[in-house]
Each structure stands twice: as C-alpha cells, then as structure tokens.
Chains A and B, each alone.
Chain A
C-alpha cells in the first residue's frame, strides 16, 4: 500500500512558516503535494510502471508592484529561506506594473462532494495491476493486443498569502485508458473517476475490443463534408482548442473569436457551455491558484457568449469580476478553464445515429492543432474506431481521415446527446455529451 501525501494541516503550517520568512510587501505561497502512480502496458505486459511523490513550494513576492517567483522542493529551513530571498530579489529587479493586483483575503468556498476517495489515495501497485488484468483477458479473447495505462493519484494544494487568505484542497483521480489493436484495425475506450473502484475495467476493455473488431477490414471513403457523430473523447479533444478563446487574455488582445463583444450569438442555440468545478462526474478544486473562489460560470448560453474567465490581474485590467481562474504564478498564459461542461441535448446517442442517413461515427482524434487562431480552424486525424453510418445504422469500419474545420462555424450546426460523460486530455477535465455536426470537412484519407 502506498503512503498518502502531505495533509492539508501540514501544508498550511508549512505555508505559514514560509510567509513568516518574507520581507516583501505581499507574499503568496503555494504548497502542492502529490503522489501519482501509473501502470502503462502494451502487448499484455507492463512496460512502464512508476510511482512518484513530491512536495513543491512556490513563493510569489511583490515589492512596490514588482513581482518575482521562486520554487523549490527542498523543505529544510535554509532552502525555504533561500527560495523566499530569491523571489524577493527577483521582484526588486523587475520593473513595476501598476496593474499588479492585491492578493485575495480570507474567503469562503464550498466543499466539493466526491473529489476525494480515501481508498484511491492509498491505492498500491496491486490495485493498478487489478485494473489491467481484465484488459489483458479481453485482449486475448478478442485476439487483439492492448496498450494503455491504469493510474491512481492523490494531490493536495494549499494557497496562503499575507492578506490572510488560506485555501486548501485534496483530490484523488483514477483513470483507465485502453487501445485495442486487431490485425488491421484499432479501438479505444476510457474511464475516469475520482474513485478507482468505480471504474469498470472489464467494460472499458470490452468496449475497446468491440471497436477494434468492429472496424476490421476498413474501407476508404472519400474526403469532403460529412455528417459526423463524435463520441465524448473525440468531441472533448476538439473542445480544448476552443477553451483558450474564453480567457480574458485572448479576449483582451484581440485573438479570441469573441473579442468583438460578449452577449452575441456565435453558435447554435443547441450549444451551452459552462466551467463547473462541482459537476458530480468531475468534481474539482473550488478555488484557483491564487486562492480566489472559483465561480461556476456560464460561458455560453444557447449559443450566446455570456462570460469570459478572469484572474486577479485581468479582473483589475478589464474592470471585471474575478471569476477565480488563475493558473499558478508566474503565468504568461492568462486565466484558463479547468472544468468544462457541455450541456446535453434531448436525444439519446442511439437516436442521433438513427437519424443520420449517411455519416461517420468517430471514437477519438489525434494530434489536433490550431491552423488559424482567430477563426479557430483546427486540423487533426481520426483514430481508433471510425465507422460509417448508413441509413441510421453503424455499418462498417472506415480508414482514418484528416480534417480541417473551424470550431466556431461547426458549433453553429450541432446537436448533442442527452448522456454526458467525463473525458480528459492533457490537463483538462471535461464533461461532454456525444456531439453531432453537419458538414465536417475531411481533406485526406490514410491507407490504414
């Protein structure tokens, strides 16, 4: 059994000890403690099996509206004293910025149900091995080979500052991510939860294997505009590339699609997007990395952009409310969403498919990148389970294709399933439904 990480009370005591060392006008301390373990597998063998524990301290010092940040993971007095001194020294060498905000004072934030699972916090390597075993069994019975990972982690964050603000959060996470490969086809499925015990490894494995078998002998279809039904993993991967447009920084510098103004309809009425740390499928941190309580924010309501995300700096610069979406200092990227949620529609996924005469069902994308920033045009490839839909039925597997689409345009002709699912990629946690888009543009086809 692995050991749990540094607890909130210890982190808060450490943060106070560091604050007492600072001579700056204002000081903020972040203490992040984590224990993360992951078993990666391929061909029914664990090829990377790891466990990492660390405690990091970050000190932000403000002197005469000049800011410096220093970080260390050594917790002895000399190292902490040195980190504080470096932050102060750097601050003194930085030019003053009149927009430097005050640090948030004491504030209340709501506890988040379901973010922490005690069993997951102490899950050992055998727990992750136990998640892998049904995958290996499914691969063998489906005559596939598997690749993916099982992970468990616990993370704790404390933010404290000289304005009296103190905020602490503890969370756990678990994931099972599976790709199955058959002779000429592949399939993918995933499971995420704050509790490892609630991930049904056998079901995830079965879904991935069924997709791999179901796309055997894939045929080519012509590139061009298609009606597509995107499963949550695929939709979520595209949505990431819209998220930054809601940052106050890109709104302010003119690079966001909505820089020309809010309260305008940019999308279909079907599209409603929020940032919600308290969603039961993906409970997250109720404050940001400055300790500011995070708002459960409606970004798009029925196609109309209602809000942008701010932190203390952009709240002051744009004279807006601080929505509590700061990244850890120093942050040159501006405020960011952490918990995107797309509202579900009125039809089931089965109905969305049944009402598609000719289209494609897509499990997952790969390597999406922005082609054109302002217009939010992105490119990428389908991967691990692409099916033709014919007369409302999933008919057969098709080869992978490259797309080039404008996300804002695409969300002007969309429909969503009533079922939402948690998905995740990189540092985003998202809750999204299956999405159906008209005129999704594919520009080339592969031979596999």
Chain B
C-alpha cells in the first residue's frame, strides 16, 4: 500500500513522543474545474494537493498536525507536533474527552464509476460547456450565462496504531448551468439541475445524466419569464416543495441538528447547537409519522459514500428519524461513546490538512406513495416551489427561512401561473409535523451538496440528501419580502 512506510514512521514517532493512540491519513486530492461565463472560459484549472495529517491522543486530549512535507524530517515533525498540540490541550482541559477507537480494519474501497472522466478529452469537456452556455443566451433579459464542471479524485490511505490499514479511491463529479436575467431593476436566476448543479459520486456518466445542452434553452426562457412574473403572495398557504428544495430542507433542518457534536456544544461558537437534545432521543415527535430520514453512507451515487470514515469506522445505514420520532444522530467514536452508542461512521475531513470531525453524510428521506402529480390533488390554495435561492436557519436549527427560484400558484388542485421570489419560513418540528404527503420513488432523487460549511477553520464537506417532492400544510409564505 502506497505511503505504508511513511505511515509507520509517523505512528512510531507519535507513540515515541507519548501518544496513547495515533492515526494518520495520506491523501492525494485532485480537482479539475472548468467554468464558462458569457462565452469565455473563465476557469480552466487542475489542482493537485498531497499531504498527510496525524491525529494523536494523549491524556484524553486530541492533537492534529498536517504537512505537505513528506520527507522523513517532515513526517517526524508533523507527528511530534500532533503530540505537542495534544499535550498543550491536556494541560488546560478541565476534563478528558478523547477515547481511542477499538476496532481495526484492513480493507480497500473503490467508488463505482462507469466512465472515467479522464477518458473524455479535455477539449470535448470544454466544448460541452461552451455549447451549453451558448444556448442560455437569446431570451430577453439574459445577461449572464454560466456552465461549469467539477471532477474530483481522492486517493486516501488510513493507518492507525491499533492496526487499521485502509485504502480508498473516491471519485465525484458535478456540472450545472445558470442563466441570470436582468431588467427593470430586478435580477432573476435559474439554475439547473438543482441550485448547485448535479453532483454525485461517479464518473462522466453523471455529466451525461445532467443533459445540460438539452435543458439550457428552457432554463434561459424561465429566467427571462421570471422577470415579468408576478410577486409570490404573502400569507399562510399549503405548499409543495420539489425534490431539490426538499434536499436543502433536509440538509438544514435535519442533517445539521442531528450532528452529535453540535448537540454536545462542540460547534456552539460557530455553526451552533441543536434542538435535537439527547434527552429527546426516542421521544421527540420531529415530524409526522410519514417522515423517516436515514443516514446511508453506502448510498449508490452519494457524495459522502465511502467504505470507511476518517476515523476508520466502516460505513453503515442507520435512522435519524423513524416514523416521525427522533431515533439517532450522526456520530463519531468519541461522541457515540458519550451517549452509550457506537459510531455510525460520520466523521470526515475535507482533505489531508483538515482535522476529522462529524459531518453530515448521505441523508435520505424515505419516499412515500403519492405520485408527484397527485400531490396537488387536494390543495385548494397553495404554492409549488422549486430550486433553492436563499437559505437561513437559526443556530439551534429551529427558525428557518428559505427562498426558491420559482413558484407556481396551486388553485383547486391544479398548477397555475408562475410566481417570482417565493419564500417560506417556519419552525423545524412544526414544519415537519405538517408534512402530510411525500412523493413516491419516481420523484425521489439523490441531490449532492458540494459545499457544506462547518468547523473552525471552515471545512467544506460533500453531502447528499435524497428526497422526493413533499407537501406541507399551513406554511408561512412570502416572509422574505415582508421587511
């Protein structure tokens, strides 16, 4: 296994300096990005970053050090530094929190890809985006077109002093388009597919599935029409959210509050705490009985899918919300033990230089049994909203407000005229308890989020939320324009 000798050196040094447990992660991360903006290739880049991080446990305190210097001296220095950092933390700590993992694995994992993007000539990749972006221009008011493509490759190697030896090859791909229309003192944006594009684990087949060229004319036309559309009304309405907006709703109001480190106050100063407190486990009526949300880090095409997390724990499936009731958390080894459970492999670092921490991974809202079109049937006066434009939620994840790119009136079970600037808000458990219908498996889709921020220093995580469209009763609509 590549890096095995270097890893042995790092672990030996950490132990010699006093570590009771240590693990080390070597990563080679390669990121290619192409972005076309108004006919110009604004970004054509290829970045490779290689390095190692060492995590050391000493006297109940963790230390982490990372370096790009992979010489013997660089590895020794990083391992020694991790122990020094842990020792300094132990000296001021009022209690002990760290505990070493107990289970070791020797294994490999490789993400499923059907076509390696590297087999597609770079010129062909650029040409696809130029053509997709070109097709965004034409409808009145479209001032800016964008088309983009990201190819990410991570090869990581995890070793620990209890004998873990894990090699993983992860491949993630994303692409999207955006039309921005400007006119009459207004700016309207339409993106496709979803507000960040389509990001999944896999190869070139993910780009082909996005069908950017086929959809570009429609997206441009919708951006233009939004400039002339009436403002979404303000008031209490039944709403239906499209599956990509549901993805964001799950992300903010279930994924983040279910991170156990937040529940325990580890994120209090930055991304906040959580209303999903430990004494509410197996009691809190988080949502209606139709709502079951599971963690699935084995999900096909999931952005967080991997064989093992960055603590060396094997990926599994587990529930966060079961039939509406709070049933679990996203956990690390330390935090799981604190509540008498076992880690469900939700620890990730955004790269070799980042400290591993609990991250939202792949979440899935189990589909219901209502065909998409039938969600509208008994809505007398409502709004259908699609594709996120704005998102905000308080630091306990209760009071949220979201905006979407497009809305449509629903009158007596039928979708009506287009509305611009739809926004809605609410309080998390009230909102999820108002869910009375979830779309069936045909409208269920795994939406990747490539840019989830958490931690200080900020780490960018890659997650997936899979969902179908869903219906909610009596929601406060139009809140964003009430000021």
Q: How does the 8 Å CB contact mask read for A26-62 relative to B, with 1 for contact and 0 for none?
A: 0000000000111110111111111111111010000
Query: Are A444 and B390 interface neighbours, CB within 8 A?
Result: no
Stretch of A104-112, A121-129, A349-357 with 4 or more beta carbons under 8 angstroms from chain B: A121-129
Query: Are A45 and B180 interface neighbours, CB within 8 A?
Result: no
Chain A residues with CB below 8 A from B43, complex form: 69, 330-332
Q: Which of B66, B81, B95, B97 sits near A2, CB closer than 8 Å? A: B81
Q: For residue A188, which residue of chain B has the nearest CB?
A: B269
Docked complex Cα distance between A44 and B78 (Å): 26
Query: Are B481 and A404 interface neighbours, CB within 8 A?
Result: yes
Docked complex Cα distance between A133 and B93 (Å): 9
Q: For chain B residues 384-401, which have a beta carbon within 8 Å of chain A?
A: 390-396, 398-399, 401
How many chain B residues touch A (CB < 8 A): the figure is 89
Interface status of B182 (Cβ within 8 A of chain A): yes
Q: Which of A42, A50, A403, A404 sits near B66, CB closer than 8 Å? A: A50
Interface status of B209 (Cβ within 8 A of chain A): no
Query: Are B85 and A49 interface neighbours, CB within 8 A?
Result: yes
With known contacts A54-B68, A70-B46, A46–B482 Cβ distance under 8 A: no
Query: Are A404 and B92 interface neighbours, CB within 8 A?
Result: no
Stretch of B57-65, B279-287, B411-419, B443-451 with 4 or more beta carbons under 8 angstroms from chain A: B57-65
Interface status of A161 (Cβ within 8 A of chain B): no
Query: Are A177 and B456 interface neighbours, CB within 8 A?
Result: yes
Docked complex Cα distance between A4 and B221 (Å): 55
Query: Are B88 and A330 interface neighbours, CB within 8 A?
Result: no
With known contacts A68-B45, A70-B47, A441-B482, A253–B81 Cβ distance under 8 A: no
Q: Which of B44, B91, B455 sits near A67, CB closer than 8 Å? A: B44
Q: For residue B401, which residue of chain A has the nearest CB?
A: A379
Interface status of A381 (Cβ within 8 A of chain B): yes
Interface status of A348 (Cβ within 8 A of chain B): no
Q: For chain A residues 144-159, which have a beta carbon within 8 Å of chain B?
A: 145, 147-149, 151
Chain A residues with CB below 8 A from B78, complex form: 53
Q: For residue B272, which residue of chain A has the nearest CB?
A: A366
Query: Are A444 and B399 interface neighbours, CB within 8 A?
Result: yes
With known contacts A36-B457, A69-B45, A93-B123, A332–B144 Cβ distance under 8 A: no
Chain A residues with CB below 8 A from B391, complex form: 369
With known contacts A147-B268, A371-B423, A379-B401, A44–B48 Cβ distance under 8 A: no
Query: Are A383 and B85 interface neighbours, CB within 8 A?
Result: no
Query: Are B269 and A255 interface neighbours, CB within 8 A?
Result: no
Chain B residues with CB below 8 A from A147, complex form: 265-269
Interface status of B321 (Cβ within 8 A of chain A): no
Interface status of A209 (Cβ within 8 A of chain B): no
Query: Are A181 and B187 interface neighbours, CB within 8 A?
Result: no
Query: Are B269 and A51 interface neighbours, CB within 8 A?
Result: no
Docked complex Cα distance between A188 and B270 (Å): 11
Query: Are A253 and B144 interface neighbours, CB within 8 A?
Result: yes
Q: Which of B77, B180, B266, B483 sits near A404, CB closer than 8 Å? A: B483
The smallest C-beta distance from A150 to any residue of chain B, in angstroms, reads 10
With known contacts A36-B457, A149-B269, A400-B394, A97–B421 Cβ distance under 8 A: no
Q: For residue B480, which residue of chain A has the nearest CB?
A: A371
Query: Are A446 and B399 interface neighbours, CB within 8 A?
Result: yes
Chain B residues with CB below 8 A from A332, complex form: 35, 37, 42-43, 146
Query: Are B398 and A446 interface neighbours, CB within 8 A?
Result: yes
Interface status of A23 (Cβ within 8 A of chain B): no
Interface status of A264 (Cβ within 8 A of chain B): no
Stretch of A7-15, A71-79, A301-309, A430-438 with 4 or more beta carbons under 8 angstroms from chain B: A71-79
Query: Are B180 and A253 interface neighbours, CB within 8 A?
Result: yes
Interface status of A374 (Cβ within 8 A of chain B): yes
Q: For residue B394, which residue of chain A has the nearest CB?
A: A381
Query: Are B92 and A129 interface neighbours, CB within 8 A?
Result: yes
Chain A-chain B contacts (Cβ-Cβ < 8 Å), number: 275
Query: Are A3 and B186 interface neighbours, CB within 8 A?
Result: no
Q: Which of A46, A66, A67, A380 sits near B392, CB closer than 8 Å? A: A380
Q: For residue A47, which residue of chain B has the nearest CB?
A: B266
Chain A residues with CB below 8 A from B353, complex form: 52, 54
Chain A residues with CB below 8 A from B64, complex form: 48-51
Docked complex Cα distance between A55 and B71 (Å): 14
Chain A residues with CB below 8 A from B146, complex form: 332
Chain B residues with CB below 8 A from A331, complex form: 42-43
Q: For residue B397, which residue of chain A has the nearest CB?
A: A367
Query: Are A178 and B46 interface neighbours, CB within 8 A?
Result: no
The smallest C-beta distance from A384 to any residue of chain B, in angstroms, reads 8
The smallest C-beta distance from A188 to any residue of chain B, in angstroms, reads 8
Interface status of B339 (Cβ within 8 A of chain A): no
With known contacts A38-B457, A74-B50, A254-B182, A379–B392 Cβ distance under 8 A: yes
Chain B residues with CB below 8 A from A38, complex form: 456-457
The smallest C-beta distance from B127 to any residue of chain A, in angstroms, reads 9
Query: Are A377 and B399 interface neighbours, CB within 8 A?
Result: no
Interface status of B1 (Cβ within 8 A of chain A): no
Query: Are A181 and B265 interface neighbours, CB within 8 A?
Result: yes
Q: For residue B40, which residue of chain A has the nearest CB?
A: A97
The smallest C-beta distance from B61 to any residue of chain A, in angstroms, reads 6
Q: For residue B395, which residue of chain A has the nearest CB?
A: A366
The smallest C-beta distance from B136 to any residue of chain A, in angstroms, reads 13
Docked complex Cα distance between A332 and B62 (Å): 39
Interface status of A279 (Cβ within 8 A of chain B): no
Q: How does the 8 Å CB contact mask read for B425-438 relative to A, with 1 for contact and 0 for none?
A: 10000000000000
Interface status of B357 (Cβ within 8 A of chain A): yes
Chain B residues with CB below 8 A from A255, complex form: 143-144, 180, 182, 187
Docked complex Cα distance between A52 and B458 (Å): 13
Chain B residues with CB below 8 A from A367, complex form: 392-395
Chain B residues with CB below 8 A from A372, complex form: 187, 421, 480-481
Docked complex Cα distance between A2 and B425 (Å): 48
The smallest C-beta distance from A138 to any residue of chain B, in angstroms, reads 13
Query: Are B45 and A370 interface neighbours, CB within 8 A?
Result: no
Q: For residue B455, which residue of chain A has the nearest CB?
A: A48
Docked complex Cα distance between A22 and B456 (Å): 38
Interface status of B67 (Cβ within 8 A of chain A): yes
With known contacts A95-B130, A332-B37, A444–B479 Cβ distance under 8 A: yes
Q: Which of A72, A91, A405, A441 sits near B47, CB closer than 8 Å? A: A72
Query: Are A136 and B51 interface neighbours, CB within 8 A?
Result: no
Query: Are B45 and A51 interface neighbours, CB within 8 A?
Result: no
Q: For residue A382, which residue of chain B has the nearest CB?
A: B394
Q: Measuring CB to CB, which residues of chain A are less than 8 angstroms from any residue of chain B?
A: 2-3, 36-40, 42-56, 58, 66-74, 83, 86-87, 89-91, 93-95, 97, 99, 124-126, 128-129, 132-133, 136, 145, 147-149, 151, 177-179, 181, 188, 253-255, 330-332, 366-375, 377, 379-381, 383, 400, 402-406, 426, 441, 443-444, 446-448
Mind listing 12 A-B residue pairs with CB under 8 Å? A45-B89, A46-B93, A51-B81, A87-B46, A181-B268, A255-B187, A367-B394, A372-B481, A373-B187, A402-B425, A404-B480, A405-B483
Q: Measuring CB to CB, which residues of chain B are less than 8 angstroms from any residue of chain A?
A: 33, 35, 37, 40-51, 53, 61-69, 77-78, 81-82, 84-95, 97, 122-123, 126, 130, 143-144, 146, 180, 182, 185-187, 189, 261, 264-269, 272, 353, 355, 357, 390-396, 398-399, 401, 403, 421, 423, 425, 455-458, 479-483
5 other A-B residue contacts (CB within 8 Å) besides A52-B65, A443-B425: A50-B66, A67-B44, A73-B51, A374-B185, A400-B399
